[in-house]
Every structure is written in structure tokens, then in C-alpha cells.
Chain A
Amino acid sequence: MLLNQFLFLGAFLFCTGIYGALSRKNAVLVLMSIELILNAVNINLVAFGAFRDSPVGQVFALFVIAIAAAEVGVGLAIVLIIYRNRRSIDLTQVDAMKG
């Protein structure tokens, strides 16, 4: 198989995730878009690992999966506390630091 087919798939997932993170205003949906981005990175890591015939790509993909689990846990806790304080998770209304 071509290496590029995996890299193109990863690039497509990455750009879709960027679009979602920029254009959604529901905080949970923004977190889902970030998951898309992290998965794109993982596909690239494993593809290059297979290409170089080395297990290191899989090791780093494991680390990324662990960090993603931690990120989702803390992110959803933050979303919950935003909801509890403002009764909404509309990110366009969370603008207390806007100049």
C-alpha cells in the first residue's frame, strides 16, 4: 500500500477537525473536533512507524491516546462547570476575557 493514502486520510481528518473546532459553538462538539485532530495525528504516527519498520510509532500513538483520555476528562469537567455557572455551554457567550 502507498504511504500517502494514510497520510492523505490523516490530513483530511485533521482539516475537518480544524473546521469543527473553529465553527462549532457547543463546547462538547469542539472537544469532539479535537478528538478528530488527535486521531489524524495517530494515523500518521502509526503509518510512519510501519513505514520505518519500527515500533516507536505505535509507542507514541499509545502516549497520544493516554493524553487524549486525560484531556477529555478535564475538558468535560470544565464544560460541566461552565454549564453549572451559566446554564449554557455556548462558547460565544464565554467572552469574559474579550477586550
Chain B
Amino acid sequence: MVAQNIAFGLTALGMAIGAVRVVTTKNVVHAALWLVLVLGGVAVNYILLAAEFIAVVQVLVYIGAIVVLFLFGIMLTRAPIGHDPDLDNDQRWAGVVVGLLMFGVLASVLAKQFGRVHVDTSHVQRTADVANSVFTTYVVPFEVVSVVLLAALVGAVVIARRD
């Protein structure tokens, strides 16, 4: 249990630094690379919560596909590779206020409601349980998601096509 807490603390620290760097760095490519750190930390958190299937999917889909898509987007829009001071708009301080206020509200509610609640990760949710759940109770949403993915694929091709 102590080892898990140490692992959580280290990843949470890395993720916090990475997330803040994603939204404050002046270099678009660096933002994408800090995002990799945050997404990897999320995968570590899934492992700590004994959700190994979601952790693998996180690495495959987010780090493998979505970050590459982001890098392609940066490349195709010819953003200046390197230091670019003009990435923030003039709502920065309003954004800081909204973010801090939101975090204050969420933190107080969570501390009040789940103060000393422990999560028991000794009983692993096996991938077989997840698969059973997907293909019995949630089979209709699963099929709908596949149609949504197809529609998004076709839509992205149609929107981005040069005609």
C-alpha cells in the first residue's frame, strides 16, 4: 500500500507539472510533448486502480493516435516551430480566476463528501468482466459508438477534403 502511494505521489506530481506546462508553454510542439507526459501518468493511475485494459487502451489510443494527430495538426497548420509568444488571448486572468474558483469548489465538495473513504484495489476488475459488461448490458451503446466513429471518420474526410 505504501509503494502504491509513493507511485501515486510521483505520477501525480509529474502530471500536475505536465498539465500546467501544457496550458502555459509558449511552444506548440512542447505542449503536445507535455501532453504525452500527462496521458502516460493517467495510464499509470489506471494501473494503480487495477484497470489494466483501460491503461493499455489509453496508451494505444491517446499516446499512439491522438498525440500523433495533434502533431500532424500542428505541422499542417504551419505553426511556428519554436518560441511563439502570441499563444494566449486577453482572457488569461479571467481563466485563472475561473480555474481556481472551480478547483476550490470541487476540492471542498470532495473533501466533505469522500474525506476518509478508501478504495480497495486488492480485488482486480478483470478484462473479462469488462468485456462481459460491454457485450451484454452495454452492447447497444457499444454499437452506437462504432457508428459514431464511422460518422466522425467520414465527416473528417469530407470536411478536410480539398475540392
Q: Which residue of B lies closest to A92 (CB)?
A: B89
Contacts of B86 in A (CB 8 A): 25
Which bracket fits the contact residues of B? 35 or more
Please determine whether B159 and A77 come into contact, CB atoms closer than 8 angstroms. Answer: yes
Closest Cβ neighbor of B77 among chain A residues? A83
CA distance A94 to B120 in the complex (A): 49
- With A26-B28, A32-B22, A32-B31 already in contact, the answer to whether A59 and B116 are too (CB < 8 A) is no
Assess whether A72 is in contact with B87, with CB atoms less than 8 Å apart: no
- Residue numbers in A under 8 Å from B54 (CB-CB): 42, 46, 58, 61-62, 65
The tally of residues in A whose CB lies under 8 Å from a CB in B reads: 71
Q: A6 to B73, Cβ gap below 8 A?
A: no
Number of A-B contacts (CB under 8 A): 248
Residues in B neighbouring A25, C-beta threshold 8 A = 86-89
CA–CA, A13 to B19, complex, Å? 7
Q: How far is the CA of A2 from the CA of B121 in the complex (A)?
A: 10
DSSP class of A's interface residues: helix, strand, loop or mixed?
Answer: helix
B130 touches A19 (CB 8 A): no
**A1 and B121 form a contact (CB under 8 A):** yes
1/0 contact string of A30-66 vs chain B (CB within 8 Å): 0111011001001100110111011111110111011
A49→B151 CA distance, assembly (Å): 29
Task: Report the 5 A-B pairs with minimum CB-CB distance, sorted nearest first.
Answer: A20-B23, A70-B152, A22-B95, A19-B99, A23-B95
Binding site for B on A (CB under 8 A): 1-9, 11-20, 22-29, 31-33, 35-36, 39, 42-43, 46-47, 49-51, 53-59, 61-63, 65-74, 76-81, 83-84, 89, 91-92
| Beyond A23-B89, A58-B130, 14 extra complex contacts between A and B, CB < 8 Å | A3-B118, A11-B103, A16-B22, A18-B99, A18-B102, A19-B23, A26-B87, A27-B77, A32-B35, A42-B54, A42-B58, A49-B49, A55-B130, A71-B152
